[in-house]
Every structure is written in C-alpha cells, then in structure tokens.
Amino acid sequence: MKILFYTPQSDAAAWLTDLRRALPDATVREWQPGDRGPADFAIVWRPPHDMLAGRSDLRAVFNLGAGVDAILALEREQPGTLPSGVPLVRLEDTGMAAQMVEYIVHAVLRYMRRFDEYAQLQAERRWHVLDPHPRASFTVGVLGLGVLGASVAQAVASFGLPVRGYSRSARRIEGIGTYAGPAQFDAFLDGLKVLVNLLPHTPDTQDVLNAQTLAKLAHGAYLINVARGAHLVERDLLDALHNGQIAAATLDVFRDEPLPVDHPFWREPRITITPHSSALTLRAESVAQIAQKIIALTRGEPVTGIVDVARGY
C-alpha cells in the first residue's frame, strides 16, 4: 500500500512519523513537485493542483480537516484537481467537538453573565453591578447542525438556555428547536440573542452573516463565528456594532488570515479575536481515524465522512 502525504504547514515530519507508526505495512511518502509515482491513498491539506490532478490510481483522498472548502475551491478554480470518481473523505470530530463546545460555551456564558462588560468596567476602575441577562430570553441559535453544531447546541442547552438549530436538511435533536431550509431561515433568526455560526463554507453560504441576517436578531445581540471568515460581511458587522444592533462579537476566523495588523477589527473593543484556534486538528486522533478508514477501504468495507462534492460538505 502506497500513501502520498502533503501539508504546507511545518509539521509534516511529525505527521509522517505517526502515519508510518499507525500503518506499518504501508509506504508513506511526502509529495514533492514532479512526483507522479503510484499511490493508493492521498492524505492532504491544501494540496497543489499538480499533486492530485489526473491520478487514476487513487482509491481515496483524505482531507486533514473537517472543512473541505479549501480543496473544493481549488477544484472550482482548476477543474480536475480532484480525480474523477475518487471519494474525498473529511475528518469527523477527532477531538474537535470537545474543543468547540468549550470555546462556544465560554463565549455564550461570558456574554450572558456580562463578563465582557465587567472587563471594561475594570479597565475604567468602576465598581458597578450589572444584572445578568434573563436566562429564559437569552436564546442561542446555532447555524449548522453537523457533528460539531449538534454537540454545541446540546451543550449550551444543558445550561438551561433556550437553543435553536438550523440546517439545510431537517434534523431532530432532543431539547433543541430545529429549523431547516431557506423557508425557515428567518423564523430561526427571529429574536435570537446569540447567533453561533458553524456552517460549512460553500457558494450558497458565502456572506450569510450580512446586514439582513444581523437585523433579524434581537437588538443588542451577540455574534460568534467559528466557521469561516468568508461567511461574514465585515463592513456589515462593524455597522451593526456602531448602531447597537450587535452588542459584541467573538470571531475566530477571518477572510484574511493572519488578520492584517491594520484591520479595523483590532481597533474595535467589542470584538474578541482569537487566531483560528477554536478547534485545532489533533494529530494523534486524526491519524488513528484515517488509518482505520484506510484499513476498512482496503478490506472493501464502507467508511463515513465521504464528502458530497456537489453540496460542499
């Protein structure tokens, strides 16, 4: 079995070591420009077009992340990047759900208990008690009910907060009010106090966090975006902050990463910025999952996590 590996990040050697340990009978090599040698599987993150294009020998391409928007964007820009008929397989959880739950629950409770405002009062040396937001009306909406979104929705609901969830297709999650499809989008948004975005990034979801969307939330609502920067119309968020429609935002993802030093978000105290760190890819868990799926495929067994390229997730 021959496995081709590529990541533009600096930790390729560690991935190669762990993959060879998990699949001792396989030959694992790092792709280099011009390498057209045979391979049964490819494991990639943001691969160049030349790595995959025209390969008829691959049995599957594994993406080193739950989001596949980058590799699908490359396919749209350079058709044929993904070999025809070869399944694209994404990571499923691998420890990301727990991280995402921690990040979002922290942000939601920080806003509900007004700790962000207390931080400002501390900076001003002002002793002033703020009433917490009423729990019964502090409704949290989760955009995207995949593995991560469903975990987040249930975790937030466990604190006794009302929670809604939105997905493209109908879902049923105990204790969560679920909405599906464009016809129910406005009803999902109506009066939300917190909007959490966990949607996959596709052409259909580009710019979904825009002025029209934000205007449907409760006045003085909060935004948490941990999906992709391309979901957010940045000027619309700044305008909503300035007119009071949005009270504050927590952003982990941005259109340009790293966020440029002259970006206006840095100068807006009501925006909390983290460096795309809400749910990091954990190497050991990811290698174990990929290895199990490769072994299953070599045995002719089905695997989960296969991407519907037309849908984008």
Mark residue 238 as left, alpha or beta (left: phi above 0; alpha: psi -120 to 50; beta: remaining): alpha
Q: Please say if 255 is a catalytic residue.
A: no
Per-residue pLDDT at 9: 86
pLDDT of residue 240: 98
According to DSSP, the β-strands at 140-143 and 163-167 are parallel
**What domains appear along the chain, each with residue ranges and CATH number?**
2-94+281-311 (3.40.50.720), 96-273 (3.40.50.720)
Q: How far is CA 173 from CA 72, 142, 237, 313, in A?
A: 29, 12, 30, 20
Identity of the residue numbered 94: T
Identify residue 225 by its one-letter amino acid code: N
CA dist 169 and 97 (Å) reads: 21
Separation CA 12–CA 28 (nearest Å): 12
Which has the closest alpha carbon to 18: 265, 286, 233, 260? 286
Of 90, 110, 228, 231, which is the active-site residue? Answer: 228
In angstroms, how far is CA 270 from the centroid of its own chain?
22
Coil, helix or strand for 143?
strand
Comparing CA positions, the residue from 36, 38, 44 lying closest to residue 19 is: 44
- For residue 219, the model assigns a pLDDT of 98
pLDDT at 208: 98
The per-residue DSSP string of 33-101 comes to: TT-----SEEEESS--HHHHTT--S-SEEEESSS--HHHHHHHHHSTTSSPTTPPEE----TTHHHHHH
- 228 classed as catalytic: yes
Alpha carbons 249 and 268: distance in angstroms, whole number: 10
Residues 6+ apart with CB under 8 A from 228: 67, 69, 201, 253
Q: In sequence order, what DSSP letters do the residues of 266-289 get, joined into one string?
A: GG-TTEEE--S-SSPPPHHHHHHH
* Gap between the Cα atoms of 92 and 148, Å rounded: 9
Alpha carbon distance 65, 47 (integer Å): 13
Produce one character per residue of 169-190: b if its CB has 16 or more CB atoms within 10 Å, e if not: eebebeebbbbbeeeebeebbe
| 49, 276, 283, 299: the active-site residue | 276
CA 111 to chain CA mean position, Å: 21
pLDDT tens-digit profile of 208-235? 999 999 999 999 999 999 999 999 999 9
Supply the pTM of this predicted model: 0.93
| Residue 11: per-residue pLDDT | 87
Evaluate whether 39 touches 3 at the Cβ level (below 8 Å): yes
* pLDDT per residue rounded down to tens, the chain (313 residues): 999 999 998 889 999 999 999 999 999 999 999 999 999 999 999 999 999 999 999 999 999 999 999 999 999 999 999 999 999 999 998 999 999 999 999 999 999 999 999 999 999 999 999 998 999 999 999 999 999 999 999 999 999 999 999 999 999 999 999 999 999 999 999 999 999 999 999 999 999 999 999 999 999 999 999 999 999 999 999 999 999 999 999 999 999 999 999 999 999 999 999 999 999 999 999 999 999 999 999 999 999 999 999 999 9
277's CB contacts (< 8 A; 6+ apart) are 252
The closest of 235, 240, 156, 259 to 198, measured between CA atoms, is 156
